[in-house]
Amino acid sequence: MTIPNPILDEPILTNERKLIASASRAERAIQLLDQLLLPDGDYPENTIHSIYYETRSLRSFAEKVDGDNLKHKVRLRWYRDNRGAAESNEIPAFLEVKFRIGSARHKIRQKLSLNRQWLASAPLTDPALGDVLRMANAELGAWMSDSRIPAIHISYQRCRYRCPYTEGRVAVDRNIRVHRFHPDLFPFGAPFSIADTVCEYKDAAQVEIPWLRHLYDAGFRMRSYSKFGEAIRILSLGGAPA
């Protein structure tokens, strides 16, 4: 796999480590990181929505399960401001390809303008969601495929921080929900919540994390984890009621 140059201003490669705990530990993690770290950027907290595109054979999920060293995911992402700011009908959305090379991650993205209500409510069988892939420019288009369909819609609340010791970026993701899914892929599924809290730490090199022990004391453990992969796993078992 050859990784293309980024679209927009994205780092070339980022090392990402994840710490996982039960959903009940989210508030404790936020209390700790509020004391230990600095809020990150203009949006220290918002809600992230992603529609993931997948093949009917669940290729991206198979790459995750098989532990392939080289893998990529295609998604359409948009954000909701949790501060109560008014949102227009047309909002920014980002068509993204996220790559993994071992423990390193890289993302390329293209900004689009799409209807907010349509993004939030259109069934994943809507042909217009497939047309979104054809909006990709040449650089992203090389990673798109007519075999990919909009498979699953996931949302979660994210709190963002910056580590003053390492300059790494930290996020706590909670209230993870699966709202919609393609009925051809998951005919017996139902909307559900994922009972996990995810703390992500991203930096340019795998440096020591000075505050890690505090999260361990709060019940977090470092392991490989994918919200997309966990959602597909649960849906493949029939889903769980919300």
CA distance 72 to 61: 10
Q: What is the 3-state secondary structure (H, E, C) of 130-189?
A: HHHHCCCCHHHHCCCCCCEEEEEEEEEEEEEEECCCCCCEEEEEEEEEEEEECCCCCCCC
The H or E element that residue 26 is part of is: helix 26-36
pLDDT tens digits along 120-134: 999 999 999 999 998
Percent of the chain with pLDDT over 70: 86
- Residue 33's Cβ-side half-sphere holds a number of Cα atoms within 13 Å equal to 30
For the chain, what are the domain ranges? 14-236
CA distance 100 to 109: 15
The pLDDT-based confidence of 66 (bands split at 50, 70, 90) is low
Residue 57 or residue 14, greater confidence: 57
Indicate if the pLDDT at residue 239 is higher than 70: no
Residue 214 or residue 99, greater confidence: 214
Q: What is the pLDDT of residue 70?
A: 62
CATH class of 14-236: alpha beta
The pLDDT-based confidence of 6 (bands split at 50, 70, 90) is very low
pLDDT tens digits along 17-27: 999 999 999 99
pLDDT tens digits along 165-221: 888 999 999 999 999 999 999 998 889 999 999 999 988 777 788 899 999 999 999
Q: Which residues contact 68 (CB under 8 A, 6 or more apart)?
A: none
Q: What is the pLDDT of residue 166?
A: 87
Indicate if the pLDDT at residue 1 is higher than 60: no
Percent of the chain with pLDDT over 90: 58
Indicate if the pLDDT at residue 143 is higher than 90: no
Phi, psi of 81 (to 5 degrees): -75, 120
CA distance 148 to 120: 20
Q: What is the pLDDT of residue 138?
A: 79
The pLDDT-based confidence of 67 (bands split at 50, 70, 90) is low
Residue 199 or residue 135, greater confidence: 199
CA distance 66 to 16: 19
Indicate if the pLDDT at residue 59 is higher than 90: no
CA distance 11 to 202: 11
The pLDDT-based confidence of 64 (bands split at 50, 70, 90) is low
Residue 69 or residue 20, greater confidence: 20
